[in-house]
A and B are shown apart, each in its own frame.
Chain A
Amino acid sequence: MNMNFLRLIGVIALTALVQSARAELKWEQTSVDLHPGFNDKQAVAHFKYENVGNTPVHFNSVHASCGCTTAQTQNEQVPPGQKGEITATFNIGGRTGTQVKTVTVQTDDPDPASSTTVLTLKAVITPLLEIQPALVYWQNGEEPKPKTITAKANKDAGVKKLDVVSSTPDFTAKVDAGSAPNEFRISVRPRDTTKAVYATLTIKPDSSANTGNVFAAAARVMPLAPTSGTAITPSTKAAVSTIRHDLATPAPTAGSPRQ
């Protein structure tokens, strides 16, 4: 009886010892909401942690869900009681809207429930300018009536006007105020719709808050639809050549002379 009792005490003590020798990262938050400004190139989230256990924690891996996000730890090992953070950097690039990226952290914590933590970075990206549609086109031979591109400016940017420049003289662009505040209507018109042409429309918002954001839309007169038995005429060849030339020509900056 006494022997059994001692065994029981031994098991309890061993269990207590194993439980007390634990490694545990306690996260301040595992989800961060970010609202980067329209000039920001990156959104950075800091996920703070503390080792509240009494043995060191090792990071086995820190893996971002997407190539556009990088994650860094301050140290590979976290001694008991030490605080630190994992920094997740999301490269915004040309992304818009709500972007959710995750970072999966794996530690050597023997408890499977605690060894893997998913950190979530949510970035709401409101661009300086929203352009709709990004392409206006005319069928070959269609009446060269103006078509409209709507540009909505971020209300915090204080955009007073837009400068729109066509990369070729084949199109003209006129900017008017839109029906809503911070909205602009860009009327694009081809000079001729009998030949296939393409132009990049460089759109630059005039705002003191803008630090060099330039946007682009495109205007096209489509080539004649290929039909069986239709020979490629010299004019078609010329049109294709024009498009290739335009592509090879970089879009002009706002300061460039209009071509």
Chain B
Amino acid sequence: MKVSAVRQTLLLIALASVPAIGEAIYFRDKVSWQSPDRSSEMVNLDQAQSWGENAIWVDARSDNEFEQDHVPGAIPLNEDRWNELLPTLLAQWSLEKKIVVYCSSQSCNASREVARRLRDEAGLKGVFVLQGGWEEWQKSKR
């Protein structure tokens, strides 16, 4: 009886190992615990402000929100008018400059998405998302 239970256990372990090994081989370059380091894409307000003239501020909020108020010198770049607005940023970008993208809690994940597209589609490096976004900026001005 005991021998049979051990055999069944071993059989189950062997069966479970087949897909596990297969997955390990197939995803060897994308091991689940190696998730992308999102924190490296974020920047806090103090750090971003310390970049001074070497930072390009990008406002990922809607046109209406941008028109009401924005970070001085910020360039509007939202996904509503991506194709129209992108060239303006590309004309001002240079290799030594960092890009700080911000949005507000009203515009969901817009800044992350805009930052991702700048990296993936335009191939820009040094693109960061502002922690706390527009609300954080406003808080610092009070």
Interface-located stretch among A74-82, A181-189, A217-225: A217-225
8 A Cβ contacts from A190-233 to B: 198, 200, 214-216, 218, 220, 222-223, 225-226
A247 to B86, CA, bound (A): 11
Contact of B94 with A by CB under 8 A: yes
- Decide if B95 touches A220 in the complex (CB within 8 Å): no
Min Cβ gap B33→A in Å is: 25
- Decide if A222 touches B94 in the complex (CB within 8 Å): yes
- Decide if B108 touches A65 in the complex (CB within 8 Å): yes
Q: B65, B78, B88, B121 — which one has the most chain A CB atoms within 10 A of its CB?
A: B121
A222 to B97, CA, bound (A): 12
8 A Cβ contacts from B91-142 to A: 91, 93-96, 106-108, 110, 121-124
Number of chain A residues close to chain B: CB under 8 A: 28
Q: In which size bucket is the chain B interface?
A: 20 to 34
A65-B108, A95-B79 given as contacts; is B121 within 8 A of A132 (CB)? yes
Contact of A246 with B by CB under 8 A: yes
- Could you list some 21 contacts between A and B, CB below 8 A? A67-B106, A68-B79, A68-B80, A93-B82, A94-B79, A94-B83, A132-B121, A133-B121, A133-B122, A135-B93, A198-B90, A198-B91, A216-B83, A216-B84, A218-B91, A222-B94, A225-B96, A243-B91, A246-B91, A247-B87, A247-B88
